[in-house]
Structure 1
């Protein structure tokens, strides 16, 4: 608010003096956020069964207009939008009487709507069958002049026209209606655009040459005299802002593949937020984060060969000025964004990062992960977590700090011999795309070699420990391998091998130890297969998987008599389904820890017995 002051003083002799000053008070209004949907007009198409549009007007929050335009659907009216117009509310009226309710045209979604006499709704796309198929061998331009004077106005054409015109002999209109005049231009074979000028002698409608891009606007357009764009068809759409998706793929330290269309008026960037607090609100990011600028590039032959599914994608290169911050960016939230020249957000998406992690932290391929013991029996625990903000060790309820190697992204800590056999987890603080925030996950070691029951904790165990070797392990003489060209292979599920075998002791059925019963029905059958030529038995997944409770007492069983139901009954499936989530049936294709045997097949899943028995 502007303020002006005037001060007046009177001295003892009655003389006066004055002066003025000016200032402002209050806060200036916040600048309007730039809009990503630039719509110069809102258009309402109106169909009346009697075809009489005289006196009917569009009355809207953006202005009032007659239904001047005509097309195959009926009549249309338009109002010009300013940058702050937002949604447009409107009615269609004649002599104060409205046809239908007050409606809203949401400019973020569309620039034109279709309504019908006597109906309350509106369509944001042209009703099916409203417009006849367009003749693809000609372009049709409808031209409107505010003064209604079309004498002498014609169309000069060149690129794309089957018969380019001479400047002195422009193409003349083929018709006239309440909107204005219509030009029809036969097109050259294969034309993708039409270059033209609307002129009267040496007077041009606008100073610059025009080009109608068929891919963007089609071949049937409406022009308003003195303006550079098109009234119809409307263009522009709501920005593609979805941080829950990850459409951009960062494939190596310098290269991102993201299929977003760029022009000279757009910019692209990777935005990262160390605190993971970027959201989308009102068509913009909640804050701008830190930027890595992207510039157009092309994929090399080597990149196309490595990422064959992306070989036809649009490639971007991280600006060399920003590459020193790539590793920092990977440890927080990442968003790929595209912006218009005015700063408006056109597109925003999450970023897939496996490729760039492999590129930057490839040295981790040589790292020894999980528990590794030195010659003194001291364990070092290591985990690869290059994007983590911090990792600490939860050792038997005690928190221990870990150190990060910047070259490999591996976090590690070395302990004492007293750590042997202790349960542990890692506390990993990291940006989690599924949760969309920074979280601290308490997780087992993906390189575990031993676990407590139900994979609750990893165990600090050395697989070279002699206590983990079954009797006869060191002297085992494996039979020679059969060449695969001669191999005969049978598949076997560890639990199914013995779970219903009455020749196996009840406590061993469905377990690893059932295979030690040499005279069981299952073992006799395996010997018979070997004698018949079977050379290999392929075990279905034997590693630790997730959905079977590992303690027998926790496993659900079917509590109904399945055999009592008719063969065509659905009761069997209904009964089995009630126990399915916690029963012992599982092929094992939901792996959790690849380097630990499954605990539900062990006599005791809590500890290292599963390893010995396996």
Structure 2
């Protein structure tokens, strides 16, 4: 009961469970269970990939797959491979452990479900995923398959890339993206033995001084634009020495934040064998708070209608972490939860939208302190003409969308709403009598559920002495200033059983009607299935 109510009120992280499989939408079975799905969200989440038993084909050559994996820091502890499709799939959020290790790194002998087809896989350590979490795939060939993978490199090497001929490279070109655009607050720690050609550094650049990192703008080839800065690090050509296999350096804050290594625990290591080199230049891409060294420009766009990456700071400001944007975004809404978003596709199923502008001011001190844990990103503000619409909008499905010039989705997310509700309904803090209160020959019911579309009290009262009961459902009225739903009934309903029927949109599920107990109730039935009206001053209670 309480978890459902938290969802109804827009608080907590509880999710309403789906209705039993046997129940049809709107059927008596679903309603009796306390849950009725009025309108499901489009594109229900896919079920976890099932484990498939491998079946041998008589007379066919044995097919196997070994994946070698090397991390730049040499630390492979906890790293697993999660597989699906033509490979057997472990449980969701789990993976196969390494079968062994060698001079290259570790290797995984992937259990196959088929002797042909495509193996999907991810290399991960818990929630830390290589290649930015992008799905990887490999097409099986008959017989023994063996590939080598380098951290941050999506190339399938068919032999050990560290044994390939030394590349002809003299420059590593770094593309660095920060979502806050504060490149002047960061610099490079460089040292003479890191593979760099110090003779080609600009005059006046001092290296190997931790408290004085080299400004990014002081590096050769520095250029700013298109959401990133680019600079060159001159390196000693590995063709002159086979032991020159990699470049190492550190990006860290300038004083007083010199010990902040931008989310990385170790040095940034660039394996030359992983680079595509042209004209003696190899490119890498680095992203703020991301330890991956990308060898191709990463697609950082993320599209979801359920992940709640954004956060309302107050009723008019919303922060979208890890998004760099200077233009407006749209807040789409749907009363029945029918919004569908897809990358490079137009938004579908929305009832409408309001436009939020990029906020260029200073976030108020109280909000900045409360949400200081959020990663850097863009802040957007509701236009003054739309503020009055916010209470109604927060009872619907809301999806923040950044669109391209062609109106197609580039990024999309939902937002955590506690900051907005606290601001919109600050007056609720002064409501003293939430719950069921018996007073002056009446019983008053009050429930704070600001995101609910409708709330009713479901009363169960005895009929005479025959053990029979009567259940009635009576709608409550919403106070727009506090978000409190209320109903007053004549008579002292001491001992009456009751629940609330709440119609609310639940992220990832849809528009539901849910029966919940009262979190402010003074009494519950055995097992907590029903709330009980209790008057603490009544002789029956004492």
Highest relative contact order (Cα 8 Å, sep 6+), 1 or 2? 2
- The TM-score with structure 1 as length reference comes to 0.42
Q: Which protein is bigger by CA-based radius of gyration?
A: 1
- The TM-score with structure 2 as length reference comes to 0.47
